Amino acid sequence: MRVRIVGAGSVGRYMAVQLATSGHDVTILDQDPQVVSRHRWLHEGVHWEEGDGCEPATLARVGAAEVDVVAAVTGDDEDNLVVSLLAKQEYAVPRVVARVNNPNNEWMFNETWGVDVSVSTPHLLTGLVEEAVNVGSFVRLLSFDQGRARLAEVTLADTSPAIGNEIAALGLPRESTVVAVLRSAQVVVPRGDTVLLAGDEVLVLVTGDAEPDVRRVLVG
Amino acid sequence: MRRRGTEVADTRPALLCGGEPVAIAEVLPRRRVVVLGQVTHMRARPTDGIPSLAVTISDGTGAVTAVWTGRRAIGGITLGRRLAVEGVGRLVGDRLEFTNPSYELQP
């Protein structure tokens, strides 16, 4: 995949190295020449460009018209929104990912601003804290596709109606899929005949309005 | 741009500098183009409470959808109106969609 990352802070650099290591074509863009020169040799697979990602000409220079993904991950929500809008409006980039710094701005990170996926660290942290302290409740971790698909997690309490049942027999709605089961620090790849146990952390991908049904099946 | 004086009605878009209009059937995704056609559908399409206006334009060879965000209506854009739009399309389903394209009302 061709990925362009705007913002070479710790988030952007981490993503660039991870994606380049997985073999993707990665260019990272930052407007601060010092940042670019300091990190230029971070990873041989990562290309660096200096420039302002809020300028259409800069995005054109890094090949925005052909890339598969643009990730706007600067520390400024305003910049991330402008980059997202330009990527979608001027270059029809298929997948635009944007970082939300201030959770109060999260409502703007949607289709209107060209954002396909928004990632809010504070929101995610809240979700993970909830997930750590709550057994037997339904915790939303991430949302994709403008909120039409959500990744949720349920740690099965002793009272969950799902315990002892095979996944295929749970009666989960068609709009949901169990994507992973975390069991005593191991990841179990779920199959139809996987039997759920108390204490399992079940990760479910939920689309549409299926959430109440998933909750009923897993939480009770 | 070629000028032919005032005696001949030049129906080509004058403000849009993307060149000659392209038949909609020949428009490729992710290329900047000008298309010219007639408005066949209009729909206010709010996303998360934020208004947007989706306008379908057809030129006989095909149809594209232009979406303008942040507004419910645009003065002059009505059903049946001839309209030129310039922008970069992406495939949404089987239809090309332009986000916030430049536009020009045509006589």
Residue with tokens 């029809």: A92
Share of chain A above pLDDT 90, in %: 71
Distance CA A132, CA A162 (A): 20
Q: Are residues A6 and A66 in the same domain?
A: yes
Give this prediction's pTM: 0.74
In a domain, A56, yes or no: yes
- Give the number of domains in chain A: 2
Q: Which helix or strand (DSSP H or E) is residue A20 part of?
A: helix A10-21
Q: Check whether A54 has a pLDDT greater than 90.
A: yes
CB contact under 8 A, A94 and B90: yes
Smallest CA–CA separation between A118 and chain B, in Å? Answer: 14
In a domain, B19, yes or no: no
Higher model confidence: residue A125 or residue A181?
A181
In a domain, A19, yes or no: yes
CB contact under 8 A, B99 and A89: yes
Q: What is the per-residue pLDDT for A133?
A: 67
Q: For A67-91, how does the pLDDT look when each residue is reduced to its tens digit (9 = 90+)?
A: 999 999 999 999 999 999 999 999 9
State mean pLDDT over A40-50.
94
CB contact under 8 A, A94 and B52: no
A106 contacts chain B (CB < 8 A): no
A145 contacts chain B (CB < 8 A): no
Distance CA B66, CA B61 (A): 16
Q: Check whether A154 has a pLDDT greater than 70.
A: yes
CB contact under 8 A, B99 and A94: no
Distance CA B107, CA B100 (A): 21
Q: Are residues A99 and A72 in the same domain?
A: yes
Residue with tokens 């419910």: B72
Q: Indicate which of B99, B102, B103 best probes the interface with A, i.e. most A CBs within 10 Å of its own CB.
A: B99
The number of beta carbons lying within 10 Å of the beta carbon of residue A109 is 26
Confirm if A108 and A78 have CB atoms less than 8 A apart.
no
Residue with tokens 């049904």: A213
A contacts of B66 (beta carbons < 8 Å): none
Smallest CA–CA separation between B88 and chain A, in Å? Answer: 6
State mean pLDDT over A155-180.
92
State mean pLDDT over A13-20.
94
Confirm if A62 and A4 have CB atoms less than 8 A apart.
yes
B contacts of A92 (beta carbons < 8 Å): 29-30, 88-90, 99
CB contact under 8 A, B87 and A89: yes
CATH value at residue A114: 3.40.50.720
CB contact under 8 A, A88 and B89: no
Q: Are residues A6 and A105 in the same domain?
A: yes
Residue A204: which of A187, A181, A183 has the closest Cα? A181
Confirm if A99 and A80 have CB atoms less than 8 A apart.
yes
Q: Which domain holds residue A80?
A: 2-119
Q: Indicate which of A82, A90, A111, A116 best probes the interface with B, i.e. most B CBs within 10 Å of its own CB.
A: A111
Higher model confidence: residue A142 or residue A86?
A86
- Alpha helix positions (H), A92-148: 121-133
Mean of all residue pLDDT scores within chain A: 91
Confirm if B51 and B72 have CB atoms less than 8 A apart.
yes
Pick the last residue of a domain from A61, A85, A119. A119
- Give the number of domains in chain B: 1
What's the pLDDT band for A125 if we cut at 50, 70, 90? confident
Q: What is the per-residue pLDDT for B107?
A: 86
Q: Indicate which of B27, B50, B98 best probes the interface with A, i.e. most A CBs within 10 Å of its own CB.
A: B50
3-state SS class at A96: strand
Q: Check whether A138 has a pLDDT greater than 70.
A: yes
DSSP string, chain B: -----SSS---S-SS--S-SB--GGGPPTTSEEEEEEEEEEEEE--BTTB-EEEEEEE-SS-EEEEEEET-S--TT--TT-EEEEEEEEEEETTEEEEES-EEEEE-
Nearest residue on chain A to B46, alpha-carbon basis: A112
Q: Are residues A6 and A112 in the same domain?
A: yes
For the record, the structure tokens of A204 come out as 């479910």
Phi-psi region of B80 (alpha: psi -120 to 50; beta: other; left: phi over 0): left
Q: Which domain holds residue B91?
A: 24-106
Higher model confidence: residue A219 or residue B13?
A219
- Evaluate whether ipTM surpasses 0.95: no
Closest by Cβ to B30, choosing from A65, A111, A112: A65
Pick the last residue of a domain from A94, A119, A144. A119
In a domain, A81, yes or no: yes
Closest by Cβ to A111, choosing from B29, B47, B88: B47
Classify residue B39 by burial, with Cβ atoms within 10 Å: 0-12, 13-18, 19+: middle
Q: What is the per-residue pLDDT for B100?
A: 94
Residue A219: which of A152, A147, A155 has the closest Cα? A155
Q: What is the per-residue pLDDT for A173?
A: 92
Distance CA A199, CA A220 (A): 15
C-alpha distances in Å from residue A32, one per residue of A41, A98, B58: 16, 20, 46
Confirm if A11 and A73 have CB atoms less than 8 A apart.
yes
CB contact under 8 A, B99 and A107: no
A118 contacts chain B (CB < 8 A): no
B contacts of A107 (beta carbons < 8 Å): 48
3-state SS class at A150: strand
Residue A107: which of A131, A88, A87, A123 has the closest Cα? A123
Q: What is the pLDDT along chain B (107 residues), one digit of tens a residue?
A: 444 444 444 555 455 665 788 999 999 999 999 999 999 999 998 877 788 999 999 999 999 999 999 899 999 999 999 999 999 999 988 889 999 999 999 88
